[in-house]
Amino acid sequence: MAQYNETTVTQAVLDSLANCPDPRFKRIMASLVTHLHAFVREVDLTESEWADAVQFLMETGKGSTPNRNEFILLSDTLGVSMLVVSLAQARKSATLKGATEATEATVEGPFYWKGAPDVPLGANLADGVPGEPALYCGRVTDIEGRPLAGALLDVWSGDGEGNYDVQLADPPTMRARGRLRTDAEGRYYFWSIKPSAYPIPDDLTTGTMLRRMGRKNWRPGHLHVMVSANGHVPLTTHLFVANSPHIDSDAVFAVRNSLVVEFEKHPPGKALDGRVMATPYHVANYDFRLAPAREPAMAAG
C-alpha cells in the first residue's frame, strides 16, 4: 500500500506522469511539480498560507473580464510575461544563427482589445482624447532594411491622463486604437497622443500583492504596437517615451533601451504630413524591423 508523506509525495506525483502521451506536456508538468514542491519545502509553507494563495488565485479569476485579464497583470508584475517574451525572441534569434536585428519585443499587457477599426495612413487615432497630440512615423522593414509594403500595425494606448478606454465605462467604447497598413515604401504615419506615465490598476489582487511587497504600481508612458507582415515573425512591442517618469522602474519590467523614443516638440504650424496644427505637437519617429519567419522543414526523401 502506498505511503505518502513529506518525503515520498513528490516522487509519487512524478511517477504518476509515466503514461502521459504528450512529451512536452509531461516535461512541463514534471518540472512544475518538482519546483513547486521544492518551493513549499524551502519556505515551510503552512496550511493557512496555502489556503490564502488558493483564495488569491480564485479572486484573480473572478476579477478578470474580457477587457481586463487580471492574470496577465499578475504575470506582468512578477516579470513572468517579460521572461517568456524574451525567451521567445532569443529562440527566434538562435534560429537565425544570431544574425537578427529585429525590433525587440515586449509584453502585450492586459488591455489589448481585438477588433480595432481599420484606418488610413495619417488618421488620428485619438480624436477627442485628452493629451498632447503626437505624430508617429517611420518604416516597417525586414532585418536587411528592405521595406515591407502592406505591413499591418495594430496600435493602442492610454490617454494623456493614463486611462485606457476599457477603464472608463462599462461597457467601454473604443478610443486611441486603430489598425493601419504601410505604403509601398514601408512607411507609416498616424496621429495619437503622447502617452503619460500611469499607475496600473491596483483595485484587485495584483494591487494587493504589490502593496504587501512594498512595490510601486507605475508604468512609464508608452504606446502599444503589434506589427505583422506576410513571411515575417509578428511583433508585439511598445514605444516608450524618453525621460518619462518611472522609465527606470517599470512595474512590469518591460522597458528595453532600443524601444525608448524621443518625442520632439514642435510649435503650432504645418506638420510633416501636411496637417496644420493649431497647438504644439510632438513627433516620434521609429522604424520597426521584422525577422523572417522560419521556413518549414523539407520533407524527408
Specify the CATH number for the domain of residue 217.
2.60.130.10
Concatenating the DSSP letter of every residue in 225-275 gives: EEEE-TTB--EEEEEEETT-TTTTS-TT----GGGEE--EEE-SEE-TTSP
Residue 96 confidence (pLDDT) = 63
Based on the domain organization, do 206 and 141 belong to the same domain? yes
Average pLDDT, stretch 168-193?
94
Based on the domain organization, do 54 and 107 belong to the same domain? no
**Look-up: residue for cell 522609465?**
247
Q: pTM to 2 decimals?
A: 0.88
Count: domains in the chain:
2
- Residue 31 pLDDT > 90, yes or no? yes
Residue 155 confidence (pLDDT) = 98
Based on the domain organization, do 213 and 104 belong to the same domain? yes
Residue 40 inside a domain? The answer is yes
Based on the domain organization, do 203 and 144 belong to the same domain? yes
Nearest Cα neighbor of 74 from 198, 226, 213 is 213
Based on the domain organization, do 44 and 160 belong to the same domain? no
Based on the domain organization, do 53 and 109 belong to the same domain? no
Average pLDDT, stretch 268-296?
91
Cell reading at 257: 533601451
Nearest Cα neighbor of 253 from 80, 92, 105, 90 is 80
Based on the domain organization, do 60 and 38 belong to the same domain? yes
Domain boundary (22, 39, 65) is at 65
pLDDT digits (tens, 9 = 90+) for 106-160: 999 888 999 999 999 999 999 999 999 999 999 999 999 999 999 999 999 999 8
Based on the domain organization, do 40 and 116 belong to the same domain? no
What is the extent of the structural domain holding 283?
Answer: 74-290
pLDDT digits (tens, 9 = 90+) for 286-298: 999 999 987 543 3
- Residue 90 pLDDT > 90, yes or no? no
Helical axes 47-63 vs 205-213, angle rounded to 10°? 130
Cell reading at 192: 495619437
Question: Which of helix, strand or coil describes residue 50?
Answer: helix
- The mean pLDDT of the chain is 92
With bands split at pLDDT 50, 70 and 90, how would you rate the model's confidence at 4? confident
List b or e across 247-273, with b for residues whose CB sees 16 or more CB atoms inside 10 angstroms.
beebbbbbbbeebbbebeebeeeebee
pLDDT digits (tens, 9 = 90+) for 252-266: 999 999 999 999 999
Using a pLDDT cut of 90, give the percent of the chain over it: 81
